[in-house]
Structure 1
Amino acid sequence: MEDVEPQIIEAVERTDSNDPLRVLKDVMAGTCGGIAQVLVGQPFDTTKVRLQSAPPGTYTGGLDVVQKLIKTEGPLAFYKGTLTPLVGVGACVSVQFGVFEGLKRFFSKQNMSNGRSEGLTYTQYYFAGSLSGLANSILACPIEHIRIRLQTQTASAPKQFSGPIDVIRKVTHSSGIAGIFRGLTPTLLREGHGMGVYFLTYEYLVNRDMAKNKIERKNIPGWRLCVYGGCAGYGVWLSAYPFDVIKSKMQTDSIDPTKRQFSSTMECARKTFQATGVKGFFRGFVPTILRAAPVNASTFYAFELAMRAMR
């Protein structure tokens, strides 16, 4: 990736790297962002997962999912499996932001030791975001697997799982610990590339705002932070959505290894393409992209407010 407009990148606000609680503050702020993300995004996510995993023809689109879910299961069904992501996504986002902020400080020091500006290049932002996504994948994969198993239970079918613990128990009994991590490869691909784009987009817009308006990060109005967070959300899903579809298909496959449709990530991709063509990799995209702006606006806004409060 080419580095562009270095004068904007140099506008990065200085971080007090001597603060002994800096890492803890990053993690706590990330947790606040994660909780906001779940509360705002869970209804959209439930709709997306139902579209991604249902047999072709079950739903005509996102609105059809919403109408049928409200009619047969009630509005609270949008929050099925929320407990797991409320705890888990808080942890995941705290890891994402903690790793990302730590790498920002690392690259800043490295730049200064090499006689350059402490501001990061676009390549460094992307790399820091990618590493944060890869680190997060180890938590995100099992958490999303458990959530998806619960989200895809419908009122018209026999209830397979009574809750998160029951999902863990039955999956590990059938497939061992590895079964909980089913879908790890597409998760790594989604998070590695997607988070690189995610954080690069947000930081670019924040740095450009600081340079253009000659203000510090803490003085950027909340509404503009929300806009930048929404743009970051669009960036991650426009760049990594097909990986998410493959992950969802693998995580809603049978828990019994002898009855699975897909034995690997590549087989899942191949069968998806054979069955529905390229459009099969974008099922559920509309509710996801509608979700992207409010969810990621709230995530970054909560993170920035928490960081400002703890400085």
Structure 2
Amino acid sequence: MSSLLKPFSVCEGPCESGAVRRGCPGSAPHHQPPSQRLVAAGLGSLPGSLPGRNLAAAAVGGRKLTHPGKSILAGGIAGGIEICITFPTEYVKTQLQLDERANPPRYRGIGDCVKLTVQDHGLRGLYRGLSSLLYGSIPKSAVRFGTFDMLSNPMRDATGRLDNTRSLVCGLGAGITEAIVVVCPMETLKVKMIHDQCSLRPRYRGFFHGISEIIREQGVRGTYQGLTATVLKQGSNQAIRFYVMNLLRNWYKGDDPSRDMHPFITAIFGATAGAASVFGNTPLDVVKTRMQGLEAHRYKSTVDCAFQILKNEGPQAFYKGTVPRLGRVCLDVAIVFVIYEEVVKLLNNVWKTQ
């Protein structure tokens, strides 16, 4: 049959000059070796090429990978701003968790706790212990986001998308790391200083005086009380939060990983992730708080602490402080994710890493 009578079809042979033509089954010439065809498709790398370049190329058209340095800086800024806004709710939550039923409870609820604190110590009383949390929140968020991106970057697909299971694993790793490096000593100091305010004669005159007294009496180990409970709490915290946030982000972006998220949407998703972590691990938070309080010597271990709470106060005691914690954490996570995303966008304009 004459070629003029043949119907139009895809090209039958290699495309001349290697150019992409309509109807060609691939974007690379057939005479190229497989490795080069993979590179042309964005799915592979040539020997000797830089891994960082390959990661950057993998995310073309999708969500760009965040450099760990940017994650650390943006996370630190977000953590510092967030804690200055939300600390009073953290103070009330801690006071309610320390208010055991074994003694006559001092507070009848959230409003009563706020009222008595302001009555006895003024508005500044709601910020007692802020310094210890502020000094710790900046490195805590820096370690959290830096670790998460270092773990997640190699796990992302060619569009920069991270699947939900891997986000859970990376969140767990980030939570455990921040618990050991920052959170445990920071939380121990915060709880001791807040608990100290309940005494008739408070011993600690400030953050640095509190540190010096605790280390003088108990050594460095005194700042690592409740480490097991803290690791369990922070690990589960960040695993739940990053999982839910990633799940919602993937759902929102659908088939377009490059779709921008408005800060308001980020805040809603962050608050949802925070609420999920509160209901998922408040019992661990209560045990951790008791293990770090001034009465921690009453417990032989984390398990013994949980057993005594259950025996003396009932299962409902594991959810003490849930309401103030819910308000604080939802606001916390929403603020942190919004500020983090916006700071990363700013850093991308002034700090070129790809």
Q: TM-score range by the shorter chain?
A: 0.7 to 0.9
User: Mapping of 1:219-230 within 5 angstroms?
Assistant: 219-230=260-271
Partner residue in 2 for 1:306: 343
Partner residue in 1 for 2:287: 246
Cα distance in 1 for partners of 2:189, 2:305 equals: 19
Q: Is the 8 A contact 2:271 2:333 kept in 1?
A: yes
Partner residue in 2 for 1:15: 64
Q: Is the partner of 1:131 in helix, strand or coil?
A: helix
Cα distance in 2 for partners of 1:11, 1:67 equals: 55
Partner residue in 2 for 1:4: none
Cα distance in 1 for partners of 2:258, 2:155 equals: 20
* Aligned with residue 140 of structure 2, among 72, 86, 92: 92
Q: Is the partner of 1:15 in helix, strand or coil?
A: coil
Q: Is the 8 A contact 2:80 2:137 kept in 1?
A: yes
Letter in 2 for 1:253: L
Kindly provide the CA deviation profile for residues 103-135 of structure 1, in whole angstroms up to 9, marking residues without a partner as x.
110212xx56xxxx7532211000000000000
Cα distance in 1 for partners of 2:209, 2:288 equals: 21
Deviation at 1:206, TM superposition (A): 1.5
Cα distance in 1 for partners of 2:211, 2:286 equals: 22
Partner residue in 1 for 2:83: 38
Partner residue in 1 for 2:28: none
Q: Is the 8 A contact 2:192 2:294 kept in 1?
A: no
1:291 equivalenced with 2:334 (yes/no): no
* Aligned with residue 272 of structure 1, among 301, 304, 309: 309
Seen in structure 2, the aligned counterparts of structure 1 residues 253 and 11 have a Cα distance that, compared at 3 Å, is farther
User: Mapping of 1:195-274 within 5 angstroms?
Assistant: 195-211=238-254, 214=256, 216-217=258-259, 219-254=260-295, 260-274=297-311
* Aligned with residue 149 of structure 1, among 169, 192, 197: 192
CA RMSD of aligned residues (A): 2.1
Cα distance in 2 for partners of 1:268, 1:237 equals: 20
* Aligned with residue 109 of structure 2, among 61, 69, 81: 61
Q: Is the 8 A contact 2:97 2:320 kept in 1?
A: yes
Cα distance in 1 for partners of 2:146, 2:278 equals: 22
Query: What TM-score, normalized by structure 1, do the two folds share?
Result: 0.86
Partner residue in 2 for 1:167: 210
Q: Is the partner of 2:212 in helix, strand or coil?
A: helix
Partner residue in 1 for 2:174: 132
1:25 equivalenced with 2:70 (yes/no): yes
Q: Is the partner of 1:272 in helix, strand or coil?
A: helix
Structure 2 gap segments, 5+ residues each: 1-58, 349-354
Which structure has more relative contact order (CA 8 Å, sep 6+)? It is 1
Q: Is the partner of 1:152 in helix, strand or coil?
A: helix
Give 1 or 2: higher helix fraction.
1
Query: What TM-score, normalized by structure 2, do the two folds share?
Result: 0.76
Q: Is the partner of 2:327 in helix, strand or coil?
A: helix
Partner residue in 2 for 1:101: 149
Deviation at 1:172, TM superposition (A): 2.1
Deviation at 1:38, TM superposition (A): 0.4
Larger Rg: 2
Seen in structure 2, the aligned counterparts of structure 1 residues 233 and 12 have a Cα distance that, compared at 3 Å, is farther
Letter in 2 for 1:296: V
Structure 1 gap segments, 5+ residues each: 1-9
Q: Is the 8 A contact 2:175 2:231 kept in 1?
A: yes
Q: Which moved more, 1:154-163 or 1:134-143?
A: 154-163
Q: Is the 8 A contact 1:198 1:232 kept in 2?
A: yes
Partner residue in 2 for 1:185: 228
Q: Is the partner of 2:294 in helix, strand or coil?
A: coil
Cα distance in 2 for partners of 1:193, 1:156 equals: 33
Cα distance in 2 for partners of 1:121, 1:92 equals: 25
Q: Is the partner of 2:254 in helix, strand or coil?
A: helix
Cα distance in 1 for partners of 2:173, 2:217 equals: 32
Kindly provide the CA deviation profile for residues 65-124 of structure 1, in whole angstroms up to 9, marking residues without a partner as x.
11111111111111112122212111001111111111110212xx56xxxx75322110
Cα distance in 2 for partners of 1:125, 1:264 equals: 31
Q: Which moved more, 1:195-204 or 1:156-165?
A: 156-165
